[in-house]
Structure 1
Amino acid sequence: MISALVLGGGGVAGVAWEAGVVHGLRQKGIDLGTADRIIGTSAGSVTGTLIATGADLEEAIARQAAGEPARHGDGGGKVDMDAVMAAFAVLYDESLEPKERRRRLGQMALAAQTGITHERLRKLGEHLPVREWPDRELLITAVDAETGEFVVWRRESGVPLELAIASSCCVPMVFPPIEINGRRYVDGGVRSSTNADLAEGAEVVVVLEPLAHMTPRATLEKELSRVGAARQYVIAPDEAAIEVFGTDVLSPHLWEPAYQAGLAQAAKLAEPLREVWTG
């Protein structure tokens, strides 16, 4: 049976929590890294890359945490979360077609004077232990800031892995859009926090959704209905993890605590997930 692992967006908290959950489950004998297809959106593009390339997740998170002090003062700045949330409101404007909503947010991102430069995204890539696309199906999502078109990067796209990840993590109004081959791109989460419909064709699907407590359920439900997998399981942060995340999932102080929250939650997930994943 074809299996898919879907890793959603969620900032620093999302990367660390997803890594903790996956590593914790692996310790319990459930290896989500064996998925035939790995789909990463925003934070999930980082975690997905680590998983797809067989990186040591614990070591990778420690490396990010250690590099954060230098990164925070270089290309970092204050994020106006009120402005970010106001801009994202356009994504829920039902009077507009989805692509037009994305285009409008992309236009705002192109015009915005952000407090954080590309430097922080670049250094995120530098602290990853991998540089090359894995020889397996890893899908990384982004959105064209000018047209609103949804883009899926893969090894065959010919785009450097570091740039694909940066574009997928490029939160509008927080970072300037990332340029790739003359086009500028923003976070794949602009379309969906998980883009779980890319798992279509898989018969077993597991979704890790770090922002489940902050996003509408209808989007993921519709995507999974389209996939129609025989076995599926959605993992959302538990109450303890949500408390750790707080209100700023981009906080550089969340690497270790969010990772630990994921590890702790994995212990509770092992048994119900085992039957879904292994059959």
Structure 2
Amino acid sequence: MTMDGGRALVLGGGGVAGIAWEAGLVAGLAGRGVDLAAADVFVGTSAGSVVGAFLAHGGDLEQAIEIMSARPDGDPAARPPKPDMDLVMTAFALMYDTTLEPREARARIGRMARETPTDGRGAALEEIGRRLPSPKWPDRHLLVTGVDADDGSFVVWDRDGDASLEAAVRASCSVPCVFPTVEIGGRHYMDGGVHSMTNADLVEGASTVVVLEPLAHFTPRDRLERELKTLGDARTVVVGPDQAAIDAFGVDVLSMRLWGPGFRAGLAQAPAVAAQVQEVWAGA
């Protein structure tokens, strides 16, 4: 899409850690007078689609994280079976294989995603979908990203499309070889992060853009830099996790045990970045 000015909040992917950290950071910034929920457009990729849905609906982020983290251990969504992380890493390595055309790389990842057994792990995705603040798309402008697992094409869902909010968010969060792909309109879709962990170029034309990048310490910077260049003269700021947050995440950012620690890490980081974010956000 092309915006005609305005403020955009780009919420990147990052698993359970990313949802929790972004929620904590946004809540912490709000406590410092930086209201990112006032964005004109929200872009949500994977974890960011969950946070974007809550913000666009005016939901209580802290309460949402408390509910998610309080699930009993007996709940199958609380402790899903462990995926084959070697297979997951092999899939994501294709994203950065420069010998492949990007769409072909995504199509190969999609084939892996569809062929990998994910029995027992879909419950976690379904639970996140059920806990969204509303089954309906918000009136405010929310963009949710995904990738067609059959042909590798990039897709963006919003309130004007045929996908339900729950299905779009589940698809955007469907990490390949971890969770099952999500069927929408007869097609199968997977994590929007397979295209880009941020997809900041979707808000070209915005005057102000704040990007929250939970996996900044894991992913190459060049892709986001290219996206930021498409934004031209927009005022931009990118916030990734600080060292304390990275330590809290650990290696397994999909761990269901990270709801509380991830949220607290974002909350604790907010004071250190509030002035930087406010300078950009208030200067729109």
1:17 match: 21
AA of the residue aligned to 1:100? E
The yes-or-no answer on 1:120 pairing with 2:124 is yes
Q: Following the alignment from structure 1 to structure 2, what is the Cα–Cα distance between the partners of residues 157 and 140?
A: 11
Q: Following the alignment from structure 1 to structure 2, what is the Cα–Cα distance between the partners of residues 177 and 157?
A: 19
AA of the residue aligned to 2:220? P
Deviations 1:175-207 (A, max 9, x none): 111111110000000000011111111010000
CA contact (8 A) 2:76 2:123 kept: no
1:50 match: 54
Q: Following the alignment from structure 1 to structure 2, what is the Cα–Cα distance between the partners of residues 174 and 224?
A: 30
1:165 to 169, 175, 178: 169
Instruction: Note the 1:68-107 alignment, pairs <5 A.
Output: 69-72=73-76, 76-107=80-111
1:201 match: 205
Q: Following the alignment from structure 2 to structure 1, what is the Cα–Cα distance between the partners of residues 13 and 109?
A: 17
AA of the residue aligned to 1:169? C
Paired residue secondary structure (1:173): coil
2:241 match: 237
2:153 match: 149
AA of the residue aligned to 2:259? W
1:39 match: 43
The yes-or-no answer on 1:4 pairing with 2:13 is no
Deviations 1:26-46 (A, max 9, x none): 011110011111000000000
Q: How far apart are 1:127 and its partner, in Å?
A: 2.2
2:113 to 109, 115, 140: 109
Deviations 1:144-170 (A, max 9, x none): 000000000000002111100000000
Deviations 1:50-96 (A, max 9, x none): 11110011101101112363444688211111110012111111111
CA contact (8 A) 1:177 1:186 kept: yes
1:259 match: 263
Q: Which moved more, 1:106-115 or 1:22-31?
A: 106-115
2:32 match: 28
CA contact (8 A) 1:71 1:123 kept: no
CA 1:193 to 1:63, structure 2 compared with 1: closer, same or farther past 3 Å?
Answer: same
Paired residue secondary structure (1:227): coil
The yes-or-no answer on 1:275 pairing with 2:251 is no
The ranges of structure 1 where at least 4 consecutive aligned residues each deviate by more than 6 angstroms after the TM superposition are: none
The yes-or-no answer on 1:177 pairing with 2:185 is no
Paired residue secondary structure (2:136): coil
Paired residue secondary structure (2:253): coil
Percentage of identical aligned residues: 55
Q: Is there any run of 5+ residues in structure 1 with no aligned partner, and where?
A: none
CA contact (8 A) 2:72 2:78 kept: no
CA contact (8 A) 1:78 1:116 kept: no
For normalisation by structure 1, the TM-score amounts to 0.97
CA contact (8 A) 1:204 1:229 kept: no
CA 1:141 to 1:178, structure 2 compared with 1: closer, same or farther past 3 Å?
Answer: same
The yes-or-no answer on 1:136 pairing with 2:140 is yes
The total of aligned residue pairs comes to: 279
CA 1:90 to 1:276, structure 2 compared with 1: closer, same or farther past 3 Å?
Answer: same
CA contact (8 A) 2:13 2:47 kept: yes
Q: Following the alignment from structure 1 to structure 2, what is the Cα–Cα distance between the partners of residues 179 and 246?
A: 31
CA contact (8 A) 1:79 1:115 kept: no
CA contact (8 A) 1:16 1:255 kept: yes
CA contact (8 A) 1:115 1:174 kept: no
Q: Following the alignment from structure 1 to structure 2, what is the Cα–Cα distance between the partners of residues 261 and 192?
A: 24
Q: Following the alignment from structure 2 to structure 1, what is the Cα–Cα distance between the partners of residues 63 and 244?
A: 23
Aligned CA RMSD, in angstroms, stands at 1.4
User: Counting helix residues as a fraction of each chain, which structure ranks higher?
Assistant: 1
1:250 match: 254
CA contact (8 A) 2:77 2:124 kept: no
Deviations 1:193-251 (A, max 9, x none): 01111111101000000000000000000001012243100000000000000000000
